Copies of this chain bind each other. A is one copy, B any other.
């Protein structure tokens, strides 16, 4: 049988109350006594029964998710996954609240973060906007012992405990290699459609993409980036215009707004064999992959990201270890054959 607090007390020759004081870092224990207890804990291999502890504490996990108010399929999906998680709240003892902040607005994000230090959630998940002020606010909260994970978009250089999202540089590199290999020995130009270069994940994807293109596919020239602001209408216009250029043989869409991209491709490129790689599996991109308008989709699974963020925050709140391999968010590559 697994040892309990009683066994520890007996082994250390102290009372239950003292063991409790040590376990829960309560004051009033002499150093030598604390050592005795800790030795007993180590020797018996005691592990606190988290379920029993949470029961006794009546613990719940108030969590806050901070999301940008962006109107695109991916963010809608992310929201939906958080709602699913809220439905599971009773069973998971979580109490999840979402806060929407204007997208790409560091000041707004900072003020929300500052408000949180009064509210005392036991964990914060946030889609980070990359700015020095935000980094400072996050670091401050971490120092106040709030568990924080970044979601989808990271805040490198900050003290956040974990990042629940894909490696966007790797994603861009992968897109480049797929596109390059699919195009074989052909020469030509590549159009790149992004949302905005103000967003870190988009910048990173582009960075990864261009570096592999430059290193390994010198016959493919990358045209100036089209910034579609994740808006289908804007994306449509930009892509439609760009396709006037007959030298384009490939397209990489690294942001959202793919509905517009697909429409432009169907209107302007029926007679051409374009190779197209896009991000995020949505109803539109899925249909386009199936009808061969798109050749491959790179995806991050919003459901996994949300569940992982919750697991990590709970573990941090309890001071427990996380299974790193389990929490790595993988880059999904979908061809028409392995769609879920």
Contacts and interface: CB of A to CB of B under 8 A. Distances in A.
Nearest to A60: B2
Copy count, this protein chain = 2
Contact of A330 (B167, B173, B340): B340
Contacts of A54: 51
Interface string A70-110: 00000000000000000010110000000000000000000
Nearest to A55: B52
How extensive is the interface on chain A, given as a class?
Answer: 35 or more
A317 to B, nearest CB: 15
Interface stretch (A7-15, A24-32, A331-339): A331-339
A335 to B, nearest CB: 5
A336 B216 CA distance: 12
A325 interface: yes
A54 B49 CA distance: 11
Nearest to A170: B338
Contacts of A212: 337
Given A2-B90, A90-B47, A91-B50, A335 B177 contact: yes
A193 interface: no
Interface string A212-227: 1000000000000000
Nearest 4 A-B pairs (CB), nearest first? Answer: A184-B184, A173-B337, A51-B51, A333-B333
